[in-house]
Structure 1
């Protein structure tokens, strides 16, 4: 009996659905991504082979750079606002709701308290210009960094009901005595556990 020959047809794959999914995913990632904020000062962290990730929440970072200038930042925006309110109470300063909102968008800053209102009013571009932020005073005569650390700890405990973690980010060229000052400030407030931010070094 003769076999019936089936006619061969060219196979075609409809890619329309795949293109739709690809564009949906691309749109989702673009809309949900957050832009990386520019650093106030470039910091070249010391190299290390240890890989321990910093906590994503309940974290404050103290940056030391540019000849001992100190900058301070808190990760959570709501904790930033509460910290600013506590600083206002401590130094008898008042901040409008708009100023609090603008401050909540600042990941790091470094000015004396009496210049804080002026800094908040600046745009992010002007704020990050060289020479605008001179660092937070942290010497024995005017130790404002201690007040910021205390305010941030109290704010985080009130907002998140958790203990605030600290990380010290120092420039590799910075002298050890400057780093030691910051460690002493933390230890004076019974903060004996903190992270040191480093860059990854190859084996």
Structure 2
């Protein structure tokens, strides 16, 4: 008895549902992604073998090769509280738009006397101004109000994680020691003795104790 051959049919997969899911995920990531603002100045940091990652919500002090100091906070809610307090304490008369520009911006590098005019600029104008901005004063020999970095640190620490926020220093490799020492001295006067330096990653030299430790598979004691 002859075998009955069933006609072959091409397989058809309806991709409509998968396309809907793909576009849904794409829309979600576009809306949920937090874009990091461009930093006010570019610095060429030294290299190190450290692999420690700085947690989110940190405070960053940046020094460029000229020794200019910039301050930034990676916490939107804290930035809102910080600028509100600074506006009240320093009687800057900032508008709602200017305070929002601070919240959306990457950081500042101007004295309080120039903060209002700086925040009134557009992002492109700020980027151009940052090339010649004077930086935040760090005079550790004058009164507290003259060391404006100390005020930024004190105010930010109060609003960032109840004073437990991590502070990171991002200094250009060509920055002078006196300028870096002023920043460290400022932190010391604020009783901040634990902070991190942001560096570029480099490989561990072969033959060193750290190299042997990383390649042995044993946890660090």
Task: Please classify the TM superposition score into its range, dividing by the shorter chain length.
Answer: 0.7 to 0.9
User: Structure 2 unaligned runs (5+)?
Assistant: 205-221
* Equivalent residues of 2:65, 2:176 under 8 A apart: no
SS of 1:73's partner is strand
Q: CA deviation at 1:182?
A: 1.0
Deviates more, 1:109-118 or 1:172-181: 172-181
Match of 1:167 in 2: 168
Establish whether residue 145 from structure 1 lines up as the match of residue 152 from structure 2: no
- Superposed CA offset, 1:111-157 (max 9, x none): 0110011001000110111545220011233311111111111233x
For the residues of structure 2 that align with 1:91 and 1:24, how far apart are their CA atoms? 47
Q: CA RMSD in A?
A: 2.0
Match of 2:47 in 1: 47
For the residues of structure 1 that align with 2:18 and 2:88, how far apart are their CA atoms? 57
Larger RCO: 1 or 2 (CA < 8 Å, sep 6+): 1
- Superposed CA offset, 1:27-60 (max 9, x none): 2222222333222111112112211111112x21
Establish whether residue 108 from structure 1 lines up as the match of residue 112 from structure 2: no
For the residues of structure 2 that align with 1:116 and 1:189, how far apart are their CA atoms? 23
* Equivalent residues of 1:62, 1:70 under 8 A apart: yes
Match of 1:122 in 2: 121
User: Structure 1 unaligned runs (5+)?
Assistant: none
Q: TM-score, normalised by structure 1?
A: 0.87
SS of 2:162's partner is coil
Match of 1:155 in 2: 159
